[in-house]
């Protein structure tokens, strides 16, 4: 397996990403940025993981939100 030292998503699970975003922004804000029902209607990490694993475009948006959050924290 190749090392990816410059990829901030390398080694980070989708569950970790969701947990950190939820703690930082909250579900309501996340739902305004990525317009998906699993962030707006009874949001849980479990339901969001299930949806995002089946929906590549939504997962990409969530990963982009995570990268922007990391950038702002530096």
Q: Domain ranges for the chain, please list them.
A: 37-74
Percent of the chain with pLDDT over 90: 82
Percent of the chain with pLDDT over 70: 93
- Crossing angle of helices 45-54/56-73, nearest 10°? 120
DSSP 36: -
Q: Which token pair is 63?
A: 């990963």
Q: What is the pLDDT of residue 14?
A: 96
Q: What is the pLDDT of residue 1?
A: 44
Q: Give the global pTM.
A: 0.87
Instruction: Point out the residues of the chain with pLDDT beneath 50.
Output: 1
């Amino acid at each position: 397996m190749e090392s990816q030292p410059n990829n901030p998503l390398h080694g980070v699970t989708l569950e970790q990403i969701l947990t950190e975003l939820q703690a930082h922004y909250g579900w309501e804000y996340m739902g305004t940025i990525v317009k998906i029902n699993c962030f707006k209607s009874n949001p849980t990490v479990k339901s969001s993981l299930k949806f995002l694993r089946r929906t590549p475009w939504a997962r990409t948006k969530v990963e982009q939100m995570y990268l922007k959050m990391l950038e702002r924290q530096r």
